[in-house]
Chains A and B, each alone.
Chain A
Amino acid sequence: NAGVTQTPKFQVLKTGQSMTLQCAQDMNHEYMSWYRQDPGMGLRLIHYSVGAGITDQGEVPNGYNVSRSTTEDFPLRLLSAAPSQTSVYFCASSRDKEQFFGPGTRLTVL
């Protein structure tokens, strides 16, 4: 199993540009989540999903959209990037309580 994979690993955007961060898992996990990590603040939940077709907001959802059309994939979309979205983004998946994390995407918005 590849586990949780994320692409790209690094990305630089200009303010106002849009992009999609990809996340996939091959463990047939129902639950998937997106977090952002900023210095000194731990990881904060952006959006999560309890199964295909079902998503909900986390602690910091503004500026981000998600969809879950399949069990395997959970993309995170930035419609109009802002410098405040400069961060490291982690995707995670779980069957129940123990979440497994991907390697992260480091995003810089200029």
Chain B
Amino acid sequence: GQQLNQSPQSMFIQEGEDVSMNCTSSSIFNTWLWYKQDPGEGPVLLIALYKAGELTSNGRLTAQFGITRKDSFLNISASIPSDVGIYFCAGQPTFAGGTSYGKLTFGQGTILTVHP
């Protein structure tokens, strides 16, 4: 099946630093989503990207949909302790003649630790 490679696997940063993580795929996706998961909780949607080349911000978060439709990155600026968690990219595949809603392919996750 389709796979997403997410990197880095983990990051240890100081409060105030900027963070960057990315996902790449061998297949084309028509939607990229970025989620954050806190311990013991389900993933929460942060940003959704729908068009190749799209750059979208949500507060201190910025994400881009790669122009090849095979990659995406997420940046977090001026990190704070509550940014700690696992960040996942997810792609919605393209199927000819049918909907792909309800089917997401996830990256392995980036574990973010922020030291005060």
Q: Tell me the A residues contacting B by CB distance below 8 Å.
A: 4, 30-33, 35, 40-45, 48-50, 58-59, 90, 92, 94, 96-104
Judging by beta carbons under 8 Å apart, are A42 and B88 in contact? Answer: yes
Which residues of B are interface residues toward A (Cβ below 8 A)?
A: 1, 4, 6, 9, 31, 33, 35, 40-45, 48, 50, 88, 90, 92, 99, 101-109
Please give me the residue from chain A that is nearest to B2 by CB atom: A59
Q: Which of A58, A59, A101 contacts B43 (CB 8 A)?
A: A101
Instruction: Among B35, B43, B50, B102, point to the contact of A32 (Cβ < 8 A).
Output: B102
Q: Are B106 and A43 in contact (CB-based, < 8 A)?
A: yes
Tally A-B pairs: CB < 8 A. 73
Q: How far is A57 from B19 in the complex, measured between Cα atoms in Å?
A: 36
Whether A43 lies near B43 (C-beta < 8 A) is: yes
Note all chain A residues with C-beta closer than 8 A to B42. Answer: 4, 90, 92, 101-104
Contact yes or no, A31 B1, CB < 8 A: no
Chain B contacts for A97, CB-based, 8 A: 31, 33, 48, 50, 92, 101
Q: How far is the CA of A43 from the CA of B33 in the complex (A)?
A: 13
Nearest CB on A from B16, distance (A): 29
Contacts of B35 in A (CB 8 A): 101
Query: Are B99 and A50 closer than 8 Å at their CB atoms?
Result: yes
